[in-house]
Copies of this chain bind each other. A is one copy, B any other.
């Protein structure tokens, strides 16, 4: 099934206790589409970059069967740039530089050939841009998944609430779920948020895994235990890409299959954090992925008497 992805395509410069990078390829839509490309070969990308964005990066995306017809290249402008430093615990970070550049007036134009995707993944962007993209589609996708962050809750809450009414699945982290709902209990928070629109809610808990809520059902997935989390950048987006990639591949949006999608997303994210940036998700072989999914499964499997 076809999958359309939007979000940032950008430069990142990352510093962690393990080292630092120069400007490398980053952005939510980059991680999402790369991760999804392991599952479905029909991925389209709607994003914007400046003419400083190297053709080799675009070639790289194309080599993964990611269609970049919807990637706008703005001449005379610069790509979005983010630089950040992670602290020792890897759970907190400080932003050193944010240069919006081309992102400041991003108008998501959808090529006619991509205006009827079966699945839509809205990576983190202004909720107003996210809703604009939905309104430009020729038909309603089977499933719309949206990622967002506390920044938009702080500065664009009304836009965010408007966009929430248009999506099926929301992915946010636990702190953001508490902020958006005003409830500390994640069970209560999940109800408040689902009353805002999305029928499904995924709460990402980093090293503690993820929760999926729908109706009265809950699924709790562990996170893989790793020797080291080398660089957490893009983990949430890689998770989302694996999640929607699996759904688009299987074309099954039942709760049971979403649970599997969460396992695949978690496995992809666990690869992501083992190296800097996208380094480790560019060349995962199928056996590696299946081994990790198996390890995930075993991690929480218990046979009761």
Closest 6 CB pairs of A and B: A220-B222, A208-B208, A300-B300, A259-B302, A187-B225, A220-B299
Name the residue among A90, A263, A300 with the largest chain B CB count within 10 angstroms. A300
What's the nearest-Cβ distance from chain B to residue A259, in Å? Answer: 4
Contact of A219 with B299 in the complex, beta carbons under 8 Å: yes
- Which residues of chain B have C-beta atoms less than 8 A from A211's C-beta? 225
CB-CB nearest in chain B for A303 = B256
User: In the bound complex, what is the Cα–Cα distance between A235 and B292 (angstroms)?
Assistant: 32
What would be 5 A-B contacts, judged by CB atoms less than 8 Å apart? A185-B226, A188-B228, A208-B208, A220-B222, A260-B305
Q: Which of A268-305 contact B (CB under 8 A)?
A: 293, 297, 299-300, 302-305
How long is the Cα–Cα vector from A260 to B302 in the complex, in angstroms?
7
Does B218 contact A225, Cβ atoms closer than 8 Å? yes
| Assembled-state Cα–Cα distance A186/B228 (Å) | 9
- Does A227 have its Cβ within 8 Å of any Cβ on chain B? yes
Given A222-B220, A304-B293, A305-B260, is A229 in contact with B185 using a C-beta cutoff of 8 Å? Answer: yes
Distance in angstroms from A39 CB to nearest chain B CB is 13
CB distance from A215 to the nearest CB of B (A): 14
Selected from B89, B208, B220, the residue in CB contact (under 8 A) with A205 is B208
Q: Is A201 an interface residue (CB 8 A)?
A: no
Q: Determine if A88 is an interface residue (Cβ-Cβ < 8 Å).
A: yes
Residues of B within 8 A of A305 (CB): 250, 260
Q: Which residues of B are found within 8 Å of A259, using beta-carbon distances?
A: 302
Whole-angstrom distance between the alpha carbons of A186 and B222 in the complex?
14
Which of A226, A227, A300, A302 gathers most chain B CB within 10 Å?
A302
A221 within 8 A of B: yes
Q: Known contacts A185-B228, A293-B304; can you find 8 more A-B pairs with CB under 8 A?
A: A88-B184, A185-B226, A208-B209, A211-B225, A221-B302, A250-B305, A262-B302, A297-B302
Given known contacts A260-B305, A305-B260, is B226 in contact with A300 (CB within 8 Å)?
no
Instruction: Choose among B228, B229, B250, B300 the residue that contacts A220 (Cβ–Cβ < 8 A).
Output: B300
A160-185 residues with Cβ-Cβ distance < 8 A to B are 184-185
What CA separation (Å) do A293 and B304 show in the bound complex?
Answer: 9
Chain A 193-230 residues near chain B, CB threshold 8 A: 205, 207-209, 211, 218-222, 225-229
